[in-house]
Amino acid sequence: MGYRTLLRDHRSVLSIAFLAMFSSSLGQSYFVGLFQAPLADHWQLSAGQFGTAYSVVTLVAGFVMLRLGPSIDWIAPRRFAITVLIALIVGVALLTLSPWWWLGVLGLGLVRLCGQGMLTHLGNTLAAREFTTLRGRAMGLASLGIPFGEALLPPLVAFSLLWLSWPSFWWLLCAALALPWLWLLHRAPWSNAPNEKPVQRDNSGPQPFRDPHFWLLLPLLMALPITMTGLFIYQAQLTEALDSSLSVYALALAGMGVAKLPGALLGGRWIDKIGPTRLARLYLLPYATAMLFATVAGGDASVWALMVGGGLAMGAQELIASGLLIRLWGIEHLGRVRSALSASMVFSTGIAPAALGLALSAGVPFSAILGAMLLFIVVAWCLAQGTLKVAQQAPRA
């Protein structure tokens, strides 16, 4: 069964998962970064104060993910989606309408939690849980929502802001997203909750943060979001260090979104054929090669290499992560384990801007930072090999 048959027979659940992933764009770092200047000006914050606030609310969102993420194992997906979407709208309202900076920052935290956190969690978990033999392809199709947003939204923002204010654009985008969500919530068949809510705190399932395998695997899965977040936030310093320009970076960012498409589609097919563990050993190779090229060569080609290489790897990242979690801890507790991973990802994207900002303030050249990023990827790959071997030997779920 190929992608065409999968879309024909399971279009409802794939539509829900895809839309959840696309809607998560509202809370993704690349999208919020497009509005960094007007947001900081609206709240009368300096760039440093905005960066600090962004890191703080992101870290708080990570902690909240740890608490709320596992609930997808016992709350019906439709109810889960409605709750997250309502919270997202509240966040957008606070972000765009509040005259007080602290309420606006609270709104930013809700947007980050519900966007990058809970909607991505919903899309990934649904796609992984509702399929067995074609799980890789299903996750690949669902994950296309994120690169679709990355390719579509940046030029749309640039074009629309010529006529609209930034709050108007946010609400126009929310209205556009509300139409397909209302249709799916009303007409699409939704699955039931897979488990019942624990009567008390459930310690019988997996405890990822107490498992050495989770900690050994985590650096490999965090290497890409940590380093790419740094490249997103400090794009001006990156292009200056590589002797390029922000206009080249903007085009390369759209190229990254396009590169995610083959990463997701081919990654989904390969996961079904060879399994997630073998692919986990290889998927960061294009990005690591691009980073080595950037540190040595520089120029516009290096910016393109970083974005395209990162896009190819990012397209397969979530598919590989979900596949590994299922192999190691089983499908019945996927919500719990994925919430631990999602929280860790949110933590990483909150810490990375602050850490890189301190390094840049201390005078560390960006070329040295790229070299440190490459070293981090190599060390993370080495740490994960033992856990990948265990996952390879585990039975398929």
pLDDT of residue 180: 95
pLDDT of residue 199: 56
pLDDT of residue 2: 67
Residues of the chain predicted below pLDDT 50: none
pLDDT of residue 11: 83
Closest-CA residue to 221 (of 271, 295, 281): 281
For the structural domain made of 3-197+208-393, what CATH number should be given? Answer: 1.20.1250.20
pLDDT of residue 63: 84
